[in-house]
Structure 1
Amino acid sequence: MPIISNLEFYVRAAIAIICVFLVCVTLHEFGHFYVAKKSGIAVPVFSIGFGPKLVKWNRGGTEYSIRLLPLGGFVQMAGEAPQETWFPIGQRVAYELDDELRIIRLGDPKDLKQGYVGTVRRVDLTDAMEMAIDTAQGVRTFQVKPYARVMLNKRSSIPLVERHEQMLGKPLWKRAAVILAGPVMNFLLAGVLFSIVNVCIGIATTTIGQVEPGTPAQAAGLRAGDQIVEVNHHSIHSWDDVASSIQSSYAADRGKLKPLELVVSRAGQPETVQVTPKVENGGAIIGIESAVTHNPLRAVPAGFVQMVRDTGLTVQAYGQLISHHQFSALSGPVGIADVITQQAKVGFWNVVMIAGVLSLNLGLFNLIPIPALDGGRLLFMIIELVRGRKVDPQKEGFVHFVGFAILMLFAVAITYRDVTHLF
């Protein structure tokens, strides 16, 4: 039935959209998480998905959770921003003490009803790990016990850690490695996905797999099994080289159909063949198809070569987008979901390929030096390297906050445009 058939397709498309976003975003965050852990930075939270928690467990000082909305994930690292920002001067705060009168739990009075309540007067949670609180007995200074819990709400909390476990307390190179790890993971994922597609559907080789009847190739005597070595004295290393050599020769001659000189290896012996292309659909063809190989020793390196090549092409596209103000070419989550839906109509491997493309673009986009993105954080690290000292963390945090707000407004505008185009 058409209704059931359409319903099945949209269910498959929805699953494809969820899987693509989930894998690309979660692995990006896993890159940050893994390098942070290896660098000795406390990571209180690693989540798959957003929204309410469905399942959670604790291991190695990290709360892992699976959440309701499976469209990505996030990681929370200690000391990305100063821990003091949780407790602005003048804020009312509830706190609990241990037997040594050290703070072991902090939070909003409504979330920590059994605690003492006071007003924050001074706070240092980076070096001294202490707070001065205006209590009923006057202003008192309390030590904050390492791993004291900050209550985010009645059920969730994160730890306060000492400087050596904070992001801000690590050397510049370690902080840069943590930030770069997310985009690097996206590039690796793209290369892996491209490689998987290559192994499963095969990659074109420089060997002719089929000669179409009635074409210039057949007339010139080319055969299936011939390996193309040269075209017009230019060495051939891939099937793309064959296609581009035919097209570029045709374009260089301003549409004139001049013979091409092909050197092929036939039964291990070189043969020179003259073939004159014909015009079809506005381009030059000679009527051959490539033989494909599924050999991982060739398919996997080709996947990573494709990743590098597509990275270069994407950087060029970003440059043209900025220089020619082609911002209408940008797509938000809705536009990306539509692309995934269209590829789901074609087949599973097209979805895997688009996941690789999306992962690559996510990695590159995050490297743009815009506040709130990984590239923006790296920019502040470069400034720190040049100045010889850190930018005030609170000022940097404010810049990232403003950048994030602008990005959200931009995302809303693009999403609105994508929705209006679709409907």
Structure 2
Amino acid sequence: MNTIIAFILMFGLLVFVHEFGHFIFAKRAGMLVREFAIGFGPKIFSNKKNETLYTIRLLPIGGYVRVAGEDPEIIELKPGQHIGLEFNPDGAVNKIIVNNKSKHPEARVIEVEHADLDHRLIIEGYEIDEEEKLTFSIDPKAGFVMDEVETQIAPYDRQFASKTKLQRAMQLFAGPMMNFLLAAVIFFLLGMLNGVPADRAIIGNVVSDSPAEEAGFQDGDEVIRIGDTSISTWEEFTEIVRAHPEEELSMTVERDNEQVDVQVVPKSNAAQDQEIGQIGVQAATEKSLLKAIPYSVNQTYEWIKLILVNLSMLVTGQFSLDMLSGPVGIYDATDQVVQTGMLNLLMWTSALSINLGIINLLPLPALDGGRLLFVGIEAVRGKPIDPQKEGVVHFIGFALLMLLMIVVTWNDIQRLFL
């Protein structure tokens, strides 16, 4: 039960923060946000506030912010179509009833000759059996009612395509950016709660049954020299240890204001296709607000770099698709992390948040990176790509991503139960 709760809260937080980035930058740019959704599939909760429908959907595999004009608009009136009009107190149309007009007896029925719902916001037409052409002004927030479902119209200045390339790029980039920011905030909290590794080569903990314990290292020892090389930072210390697996090293440590010589042989471990030395010690930590800030930035950068390296290995064939994990694999890993404590769960959440941000920035159709690519192409060629063609590309990309998700999920299930 603890794992289920932790997974729901963690995954919900990651998706919410990501979509909130898209949402807030769309609002700031003046875009009409039709829906803010957590999950996909059938709605299990919905609430409309102001212009936006907030929903929680059945399948917890992501979320989305639906911005007017980001996909081709479905609101359209054709010549000869009979519609009903309702008006606000100022005489402007505030509801356009497309069908089921009998349910709106107060509506004024007209036959459409011409309609511009994007720029001029007018409808021209005739009342039934009348010859005089009438022109009606439309409220910029008028509703388009079809099958008793009302959708707010989106004048062109409220649509995604009407904004500058910078505004559109920022709205697309904001989701991944918020994931990186969330990771940095969590690393900052970890730095405050758990402490930040000390700059000096001070040992905070000696692992049981390790080469360091056998050599006689103690908690609090500060390594000041390895052989003839002076040591002043933890990085210098670990760099030498990693470079000398299975080789005896002579170290001098400062303990209770005295210098003590120890001999240790780093154990060899495989890491990223090379052998590195480890002696089984952890750095001492210190709690400092001023140090927690650069620590959070550095940890976020290091995780970004690590994930990018792993992605490059996937592209070059060093990793296979069988090594990828979907929701089932992430749930299983979360179950193992939960058992090790809250601090490790926070670290795991940071790693997943960074991973989500990077994956969404890949230049693949339907992902934020794919949409950013189209904005970039528009900037180069000086004009946008046909929205219909772009929509088809993103639809195909989304279908392929769902297929990949099914394959990865099946692999996860096989690893767990077979």
2:396 aligns with one of 392, 395, 402:
402
* Percent identical: 32
- Amino acid of the structure 2 residue aligned with 1:32: H
Change (3 A) 1:211 1:176: closer
Checking the alignment, whether the CA contact within 8 Å between 2:87 and 2:95 is kept in structure 1 is no
Give the residue type in structure 2 aligned to 1:80. E
Q: What is the aligned counterpart of 1:347 among 329, 332, 341?
A: 341
1:311 aligns with 2:299: no
Q: Which among 155, 175, 195 is matched to residue 202 of structure 1?
A: 195
Supply the RMSD in Å over aligned alpha carbons.
3.8
The one-letter amino acid of 1:198's match is G
Match of 1:334?
A: 328
- Does residue 44 of the first structure (1) align with residue 34 of the second (2)? yes
Cα deviation for residue 402 of structure 1 reads: 1.8
Q: Does 2:157 match 1:167?
A: no
Partner of 2:273: none
Q: Secondary structure at the match of 2:11?
A: helix
**Of 79, 93, 96, the match for 2:85:** 96
Cα distance change, pair 286–32 in 1 and its aligned pair in 2 (3 A): closer
* Superposed CA offset, 1:12-60 (max 9, x none): 11111111111001110100111122222232333456643646252xx
1:28 alignment partner AA: H
Counterpart pick for 2:119 among 127, 130, 138: 127
- CA shift in 2, pair 1:133/1:372, >3 Å: farther
Residue number among 10, 19, 33 corresponding to 1:29 in the alignment: 19
The structure-2 alpha-carbon separation of the partners of 1:336 and 1:104, relative to structure 1 and needing over 3 Å to count, comes to: same
Specify which of 154, 158, 183 is matched with residue 190 of structure 1: 183
How far is the alpha carbon of 1:374 from its aligned partner? Answer: 0.5
Aligned to 2:52: 63
Shift of 1:366: 0.6
Q: How does 1:64-79 map to 2 (within 5 A)?
A: 65=54, 67=56, 69=58, 71=60, 73-79=63-69
Deviates more, 1:366-375 or 1:68-77: 68-77
How has the CA–CA distance of structure 1 residues 96 and 172 changed in structure 2, closer, same or farther, with 3 Å as cutoff? same
Deviation at residue 228 of structure 1 after TM alignment: 3.6
Determine the structure 2 residue equivalent to 1:80.
Answer: 70
Change (3 A) 1:247 1:91: farther
Given that residues 92 and 139 in structure 2 are in contact (C-alpha distance below 8 angstroms), is that contact kept between their aligned partners in structure 1? yes
Alignment-mate amino acid for residue 367 of structure 2: L
Q: 1:249 aligns with which of 244, 248, 261?
A: 244
Give the distance between the partners of 1:236 and 1:384, measured in 2 at CA.
52
Name 1:6's counterpart in structure 2: none
1:414 pairs, out of 400, 403, 408, with: 408
Partner of 2:3: 13
Task: Describe the SS at the equivalent of 1:346.
Answer: coil
CA distance in 2, matches of 1:386, 1:31: 26
Q: Is the 8 A contact 1:95 1:104 kept in 2?
A: no
What residue identity is the alignment partner of 1:397? G
TM-score if structure 1 supplies the norm length?
0.79
Gapped regions of structure 2 (runs ≥ 5) = 271-275
2:21, 2:177 within 8 Å by CA — same for their partners in 1? yes
Q: Structure 1 residues 30-39 or 96-105, which shifts more?
A: 96-105
Number of aligned residue pairs: 401
Work out whether residues 26 and 32 of structure 2, in 8 Å CA contact, stay in contact via their aligned partners in 1: yes
Closer, same or farther in 2 for the Cα pair 1:153/1:356, shift >3 Å? farther
Q: CA deviation at 1:201?
A: 2.9
Which range moves more in the overlay, 303-312 or 97-106? 97-106
Check conservation: 2:98, 2:144, Cα contact below 8 A. no
**Which 10-residue stretch deviates more, 297-306 or 104-113?**
104-113
SS of equivalent residue, structure 1 residue 249? coil
Matched, 1:367 2:361: yes
Task: Give 1:293-308 correspondences, 5 Å limit.
Answer: 293-308=286-301
Q: Structure 1 residue 119: deviation in Å?
A: 9.1
1:91-140 CA distance string (max 9 Å, x none): 97854342788653346625984367899887644333356789966998
